[in-house]
Amino acid sequence: MTATPAGESRTSLVRRARKVNRVLAETYPDARCELDFDDAFQLLVVTVLSAQTTDRRVNAARPAIFAAYPTPAAMAAASRDHLEELVGPLGFFRQKTETLLKLSAALVERFDGEVPRSLDEMVTLPGVGRKTANVVLGNAFDIPGITVDTHFGRLVRRLGWTDETDPVKVEHQVGALFPKRDWTMLSHHVIWHGRRRCHAKKPACGACPVARWCPAYGTGPTDPEVAAALVKTQGPA
């Protein structure tokens, strides 16, 4: 069972969590995956590449990568040196290149060059964990999933939806508060809020649309003008 703030019933927690999601949906009507992609294979690759870098950098590198290697078969047969050159601006390029070569080969050898549509199959792929799998399932295949990245985990703990730190436990506990059909968009709403207002070190509490339902209100500046200066209009550069 999900841990709740002291004195809050399970029913109250569910109602509060769903209210927060509704308000965040109104606040961020354009919330979506901020990685560019044309198909499930592209989304799988760019999600793997997004580790330890920003979505904007991945989006800038994406056209050249897929112009050279548009399919799993093409990427599996890629020149390591050339792929490393394309991935280079994203950091950890040797490790990421190795992962892409193994990932693409696995897609060709085990799934006929198609991205599988189940979490259990997807997490057997090299470099693919539950977070990446849920990104692809939710955004490429419309199969509901919760994406527990650093923003999501931080915010759901601040909001008192869970006190777990293990991503799998967070995924299951938060998922239990919402209808399954809401999971993918819930992830976007929370992640967008984390990138734009509810920052790790200095959240914009005084400019937060869900402040009245947040047990951590006051962690950051509550003065409206001071808080407004902390609000970002887009995700990280």
Q: Active-site residue 131, yes or no?
A: yes
CA distances from 4 to 158, 169, 200, 219 (A): 12, 14, 22, 19
Cα–Cα distance for residue pair 188/193, rounded to 1 Å: 8
User: Which tokens is 72 given?
Assistant: 């799993």
Q: What does R_g of the chain's alpha carbons equal in angstroms?
A: 19
Amino acid identity for residue 47 in this structure = T
Q: For this structure, is 39 an active site residue?
A: no
Find the catalytic residue in 30, 102, 120, 131.
131
SS3 65: helix
- The CB-side HSE value for 170 (13 A sphere, CA atoms) comes to 23
The active-site residue out of 55, 96, 149, 182 is 149
On whether the CB atoms of residues 39 and 140 are closer than 8 A, the answer is yes
Q: Is 134 exposed, middle or buried (0-12, 13-18, 19+ CB in 10 A)?
A: buried
Residues labelled as active-site residues = 131, 149
